[in-house]
Structure 1
Amino acid sequence: MEYGDVHITPATLTYTDSLTLHIGDTEVRLFHPGPAHTVGDTVVWLPRQRVVFTGDLVFNGGTPFIPFGSLGGSLRALELLRELDAEVVVPGHGPVTDPGVFDTVERYLRFVRDLAAAGRAAGRTPMEVARAADLGEFAELKESERLVGNVHRAYADLDGSPLDLPAVLRDMAEMNGGKPLACHA
C-alpha cells in the first residue's frame, strides 16, 4: 500500500502524569491514569463542560480489551474517572453516554478477574476458561472473542509473567471461528 511522501514530525510537547492546556477559554486537562487499557493511556477532561474523553479505557457496547495493559490498572482507572464527576462520557468505542457506563465496564472487568482466578486455581488454560464462560449480561457485547485475550492478561497479572502475545492472538482468532480479528465497537 502506498501512502505517499510521509514526513514524521516529532512531538514538541509531551507529558508524564498530567498536563493542563488552555485553548481559547476552554481548560483541557490531560492525565495518564497508569497502565490500564495500555501502558500509555490518556484521559482528556473538560472540567467546565463536565465532559471526559476516556479513550479505550471505556467501551460502550463493545467488549473491553486489556491484554496490552493491566486488569487492576483498568479498575483503578475507572475509580479515577468516577472521581471527575463527569456528566458526559465520550468512550473510545461506542456512542457518547453518561457515567453509568463505568459500572458496566467495572462489572465486566471483575467478571474477567473472577473467571481467571477460578480457572487458574483449577489449572485450566485461558482458552478453556473462555470457552466455558457464561457471558450472561455481557453476551450482547461486540467482539466477545476478546474474553480470551482478557483472561490471558488476567493470568499474566496473577503470575507476574509477561503476556504471551502469539497465544493471545491465536486463541482470539480461534474464539472468533478462525476468522481474522476485527473491531466493530
Structure 2
Amino acid sequence: MTLHEVVPGVHAWVQPDGTWWLNNAGVVAGGDQVLLVDTCATETRTRRFLAAVHDATGGGTIRLAVNTHLHGDHTYGNSLLPAATVIVGHEHMREGLRVDPVIDGCPPLWQPVPDWGAVTRRLPDITVQDRLTVHIGQRRVDVVHPGGPAHTTGDLVAWLPEERVLFAGDLVFNGLTPLVFMGSVTGAIAALDWLAAFGPDHLVPGHGPLLTAADIDPVFDRIRRYLRLVLDTADAGLRAGLTPLEAARACDLGEFAGWADAERIVPNLHRAYADSRGADVDPVAALTDAVAWLGGPMATRV
C-alpha cells in the first residue's frame, strides 16, 4: 500500500494487487484542507490510509470525502473519518449503502472471509444526481455522474480540470477483470468514451496501477473488448437456452484468461442476461454462481 504523488498536492493510495476488496483511493490537498476520494474496506486498511494522508498533508483537515460508488471497498471506512468531514455521494449510492447487508457480516463467498473490523455504516451527507463542483483551497474538483448505469447505478468521478487528474473509481479496472453486475455492460462501455473525453493527463482507476495519458487508450480498448465478449457470450447463451453459469462455462476468455478475478465473467453475464430481459440481478445468486464456476470461494488478500 503506497501513497503516490500524482501531481503536487494530489495523491493516489494504491493497494496491490487490486483484487477483491483492495481498491485505490485519492487525496486532494489545498492549503490546509483535504478532500478524499473514497476510503477502504477494513478498519486496518483505512487507518493506514488515513495515517499516510496525515503525513503527506502535514495533518491537514479532511474537509470533504467523495464516494465514487456504494461498494464496501470504497465506503466501509467512511465511519473512521472525522465527524466534521462532509461526505458526498450519488443518491443511488447512498441508498445502496443504506441497505447493504455485507457491512454487517460478509458471507463466506470469499476466502479468507473478510473481517471489516470496527467500521459502521456511514452514509453521505450530500447527494448528487448529475454533478457538483467543490473547492479545496484554490483547487477545483468536479464531481460528475456518467449519465447512466455503468459499474453501478450511482457512479461518480472526481475531476481536477486544472491539474488534469481524473479519479475514475470502478469505471476503470486496470489489468484485472472488470465488474459490472450492479450496473450495465453497455453503460460501462459508453462510460469509457465519456471518461476519455475529459482528456486526462493522469487517471486513477478504482483498482490496478495508475495511468498516464499514453496508457489510457490501450487500457480502455482492452476493457471494451472484454465487455463486448460478455455481450457476445450472453447473446449466444440466451439463444442456446443456457443459464449465465452455463454460458460462462462455455466461454473462452482468450486474452482475458490471465486477468485476476476471472470468475467475474459469471456475475457480468447475470447483468447482461438481466438487461436483455428487462429484469434485475440477484447479487447473491450471481456471486454464488461465480463460486460454482471457480470451484470454491473467491480469493481475497484483504
Answer whether TM exceeds 0.5 for this pair: yes
- After TM superposition, what 4+ stretches of structure 1 lie above 4 angstroms from structure 2? 6-10
2:180 aligned with 1:62, yes or no? no
Q: Distance in 2 between matches of 1:127 and 1:73?
A: 22
Q: Please show how residues 93-172 of structure 1 align to structure 2 within 5 Å.
A: 93-97=207-211, 98-100=215-217, 101-172=219-290
CA 25–74 in structure 1, closer or farther in 2 if over 3 Å, else same: same
Following TM superposition, by how much is the alpha carbon of 1:164 offset from its aligned partner in structure 2, in angstroms?
Answer: 2.8
2:128 aligned with 1:15, yes or no? yes
- Residue by residue over 1:67-93, the C-alpha shift from the partner in whole angstroms, topping out at 9 and shown as x without a partner, is 111112111211210111112111000
Amino acid at match of 1:94: G
Following TM superposition, by how much is the alpha carbon of 1:3 offset from its aligned partner in structure 2, in angstroms?
Answer: 2.5
Q: Which structure shows the bigger proportion of residues in strand conformation?
A: 2
Amino acid at match of 2:210: V
**Among the aligned pairs, what percent are the same residue?**
50
In structure 1, stretches of 5+ residues that fail to align are none
Q: Distance in 1 between matches of 2:227 and 2:177?
A: 10
Following TM superposition, by how much is the alpha carbon of 1:9 offset from its aligned partner in structure 2, in angstroms?
Answer: 7.2
Following TM superposition, by how much is the alpha carbon of 1:10 offset from its aligned partner in structure 2, in angstroms?
Answer: 5.8
Task: State the match for 1:26 in structure 2.
Answer: 139
Contact 1:54 1:92 in 2 (8 A): yes
Task: State the match for 2:21 in structure 1.
Answer: none
Task: State the match for 2:74 in structure 1.
Answer: none
CA 155–94 in structure 1, closer or farther in 2 if over 3 Å, else same: same
CA 8–83 in structure 1, closer or farther in 2 if over 3 Å, else same: closer
Contact 1:52 1:89 in 2 (8 A): yes
Q: Distance in 1 between matches of 2:174 and 2:138?
A: 30
TM-score relative to the length of structure 2: 0.56
Which of the numbers 150, 153, 160 marks the counterpart of 1:39? 153
In structure 2, stretches of 5+ residues that fail to align are 1-114
RMSD: 2.1
SS in structure 1 at match of 2:176: coil
**Higher mean C-alpha displacement, 45-54 vs 148-157:** 45-54
Q: Distance in 1 between matches of 2:299 and 2:203?
A: 24
Q: Distance in 2 between matches of 1:178 and 1:116?
A: 23
Q: Distance in 1 between matches of 2:122 and 2:195?
A: 33
Task: State the match for 1:75 in structure 2.
Answer: 189
Contact 1:143 1:183 in 2 (8 A): no
